[in-house]
Structure 1
Amino acid sequence: MTMQANALAGRMLDQGLAAFEATDIARRLAVGAPDNLASLRGFFGRVPQDVTAALLTRIAADGPGVTEADLGRLRVPTLVLGSAEDYIHPMAYAEALAGLIPGARLIEVPPKGRDRAAHVAACQNAILEFVEGLTHAEA
């Protein structure tokens, strides 16, 4: 599903939230990734609507402009965080990204949609431990 949900929301802003929530994508997000759905719902209240629609459509169509070869040439400490219930940024993407970056550290964090506090705490702890490891490695 990845960026398809963003693109669909962008195309449907003028039809309204109820129309978007009636789609298969929105129904799947409601079950499997409620936090992703909550984020997309927020776009339906943003103004100006045409700018928001264009932004969502561009985000969905635009890649980062970084090749796998570019990632393979990185020689900096890298932390990749992923969550199993993020349809916009699937765990498989985090795993693939970490696999392409030499020496990258991959940590799976709890889904934000299930327990926001646990998600935030896990992200903060992972980042702190990662940075502390860098600091101790330099000492």
Structure 2
Amino acid sequence: MRLYPPIPFQRKSAIKPDVLPSGHKVDANSMIMIFLYAMGRMRAVWGEEALEFKPDKWVSGTGGLRHESSYKFFSFNAGPRACLGKHLAMNQLKIVVVEILQNYDIEVVKGKKIQPDPGLILHMKHGVKVTLKKRF
């Protein structure tokens, strides 16, 4: 979800003048676009390996889950306007992933280009071709 967020951008509107943590001034009624697709790839936010998918990034040294701030991992928004379904969606995601990983070996088909097709909802232009092999 960091590299390919389902909703690749969000739009916010300031109801009164404000100053962002960066020091930028925002006028009332200004439209602010937050590009989650780009934010998930920023080296300044995620480090030198920002463009790589490394699931172990989310596991602590003791084997537990490493949680990131909602303001850094912004897929479900943050603060008082956070997504109401965040916890349900994350639990469903974990259950589905565990079931698949326990029962199948998955390999991305070599030579197939993975290309995002941006829009209101992020899709893959040609899908993501994989092979599944049932574990016995």
TM-score bracket for this pair, using the shorter chain length = under 0.3
Determine which structure has the larger strand proportion and give its number.
2
> TM-score, normalising length from structure 1?
0.25
